[in-house]
Amino acid sequence: MSILLKGGRVIDPVSNIDKVMDILVEGGVIAEAGDLSKYYKSKDIEIYDASGKAVTPGLIDIHAHLREPGFEYKEDIASGTRAAAAGGFTTVFCMPNTNPVNDNRAVTEYILKQAAESGACRVIPIGAITKGSLGALLTEMGDMSEAGCPAFSDDGKPVASSEVMRRALEYAKTFGLTIISHCEDPALSAGGVMNEGAVSTRLGLKGIPSAAEDVMVARDIELAKLTGGRLHLAHVSTAGSVGHVRRAKAAGVSVTAETCPHYFTLTDEAVSAYNTNFKVNPPLRTAADMEAVISGLADGTLDVIATDHAPHAASEKAVEFDLAPFGISGFETALALSLRLVETGRLSLKEVIEKLTVNPAKALGMAVPSLAPGARADVTVIDLGLVRTFDPADMLSKGKNTAYAGMTLTGWPVAVMCGGAWTFKA
């Protein structure tokens, strides 16, 4: 059945539209947009009243962990994509640190099959850069790209060898693929569990210096320059990294970068009660780093907001801080947290929507989403005025390891459509 989204504030960054209008969805695509009052009384059309709500292209998350295959006790493709839909997402790129690692066509095909059968949004697998993500032998990127991987990453781990990273960028370039770098110097970060600084000293926890990230960002930018390969930097968390990326872009290097909501809403002070839900890698940094990340988002240095959705079982997080796994379950709070940047006047609403839709698509070479007639009907309806106190009990993700329990936020997704079919309604 056709669906008419009636009277919403349509925000479509690529068409430069921000205007109240109707949208008609038919056969999985946007059929018409504008004043469609002629259809209001039609019996064959489902009317969704979007008045007072924002209507945007479906959100795209280019950095998530769906945990299947191998870690289904943390999350699986069915639960993860339902949580993604509840967070406003219609497309999710999943990282390859599963078991087995997504380092060959068979795993890629398995993920796509599971997603087709049980996914509540589009799932695009990211392949591993090296076999087993062990940092030594490159994967068959051409073969995996044919199977459906548009980008490659050893996320969770850095590619420690500069030589291997150089070859990865060169190899990926021959197929027009993007390398996503988890920037961490393992020698500098070894044994660290939080940001290195005054707070880690006070808490008696081993720190990870910001230099562990900064040196790898600098290295990978140099390697992108050397090879001409397409580089995307994952989860940028430090002022140093933001500076490196800003200068690289000014010099014309082919690099894009993302940050995650926890890096622009929390600092290492959050770790003070040893709550393992604040243990994430890279770690929460200082107020100065947070300010630099927000400035980087505002001036376009950081192109993308990605969740790094990293669900873990409650039993895994209910241990000493040193022993808990890194990660925050992020799908279901990402949009509301991002909208705080608008509330505080740091970014415009259009900019935030761009960083959650158009820019992630561009960074990984996906068709740019739009709400213009002919476009695929991936749509997110947002109630910008809805105030909600976040309760982990409401989460659809198996991983309840949120850093935002009890936080009151304004602006939540209320309806989501993927390929013309509803995938979430609040």
Report the interface residues with ligand DOR, using CB under 6 A. Answer: 65, 97, 155-156, 182, 280-281, 310, 325-327
User: What is the closest distance, in whole angstroms, from the C-beta atom of residue 75 to ligand DOR in the complex?
Assistant: 10
Which of 97/359 has CB closer to ligand DOR?
Answer: 97
Which of 65/230 has CB closer to ligand DOR?
Answer: 65
Q: How many residues does the chain have?
A: 426
Which of 9/279 has CB closer to ligand DOR?
Answer: 279
Which of 310/347 has CB closer to ligand DOR?
Answer: 310
Which of 4/101 has CB closer to ligand DOR?
Answer: 101
User: What is the closest distance, in whole angstroms, from the C-beta atom of residue 97 to ligand DOR in the complex?
Assistant: 5
Which of 281/380 has CB closer to ligand DOR?
Answer: 281
User: What is the closest distance, in whole angstroms, from the C-beta atom of residue 95 to ligand DOR in the complex?
Assistant: 7
- Alpha carbon distance 371, 10 (integer Å): 8
- Alpha carbon distance 172, 50 (integer Å): 43
- C-beta separation of 324 from 317 below 8 A: yes
Buried-exposed string 310-342: b where 16+ CB fall within 10 A, e elsewhere: bbbbeebbeeebeebbbbbbbbbbbbbbbbbbb
Which of 80/327 has CB closer to ligand DOR?
Answer: 327
- Alpha carbon distance 414, 406 (integer Å): 19
- Alpha carbon distance 381, 327 (integer Å): 28
User: What is the closest distance, in whole angstroms, from the C-beta atom of residue 312 to ligand DOR in the complex?
Assistant: 7
User: What is the closest distance, in whole angstroms, from the C-beta atom of residue 157 to ligand DOR in the complex?
Assistant: 8
Candidate list 155, 185, 214, 308, residue with the active-site label:
308
User: What is the closest distance, in whole angstroms, from the C-beta atom of residue 211 to ligand DOR in the complex?
Assistant: 18
User: What is the closest distance, in whole angstroms, from the C-beta atom of residue 316 to ligand DOR in the complex?
Assistant: 10
Q: Which residues pair with 376 in a beta bridge?
A: 29
Which of 156/369 has CB closer to ligand DOR?
Answer: 156
Q: Is 308 a catalytic residue?
A: yes
Residues 6 or more apart whose Cβ sits within 8 Å of residue 251: 225
User: What is the closest distance, in whole angstroms, from the C-beta atom of residue 403 to ligand DOR in the complex?
Assistant: 11
- Alpha carbon distance 76, 399 (integer Å): 10
What is the set of active-site residues?
A: 308
